[in-house]
Amino acid sequence: MSSFNRRSLILMPLALAACGFQPAYAPGGPAAGISGTIRVADPTDKNGFDLVERLEERLGRPSAIKFDLTYSIKTNATGVAITPDNAITRYNLNGAIDWALIDRSSGVRLTGGAVKSFTSYSATGSTVAGLAAQEDASRRLMRLLADQIVTRLLATSAHWNS
């Protein structure tokens, strides 16, 4: 016998509304007005470029700027697979970004924090293949970290986006 009950399907939206759930991008939702309002600091290197590209994909290109997003990127590669003759065949690329959202008119820091993640790449094959794998891993890492920043911005947008 199925435990599915149509009444629970009908009552689920009411339960979500009762607990304060509201879709972030819904009309009148906490994140509805942030698209195009955040200017991300200019990139200074390839990692910064990849980060800004992803943030602008998710938050929209700045047009009616109200907020500035600053960031500091740190990455390091660690060898994780070593052959008996001491050749590294796989790397973990660790990344951390400290970021802050600043109100452009007042200069007050509204929210911020740190995000961390990692990705891996293979160092086997030719030099060109290894460099391509390293560049791809770096790009993937910046996308992961940008998505974490956006998630935190959406989660806190009700507090600073009035």
pLDDT in tens, 109-123: 999 999 999 999 998
Give the whole-angstrom CA distance, residue 21 versus residue 41.
32
Give the whole-angstrom CA distance, residue 9 versus residue 91.
47
pTM (2 d.p.)? 0.83
Tokens 């199925």 map to which residue? 2
Give the whole-angstrom CA distance, residue 21 versus residue 13.
9
Examine the pLDDT at 36 and tell me if it is beyond 70. yes
User: What digits encode the pLDDT tens for the residues 78-93?
Assistant: 999 988 998 889 999 9
Tokens 């290197």 map to which residue? 45
Give the whole-angstrom CA distance, residue 92 versus residue 25.
35
Distance, CA of 36 to chain centre: 17
Three-class DSSP category at 67: strand
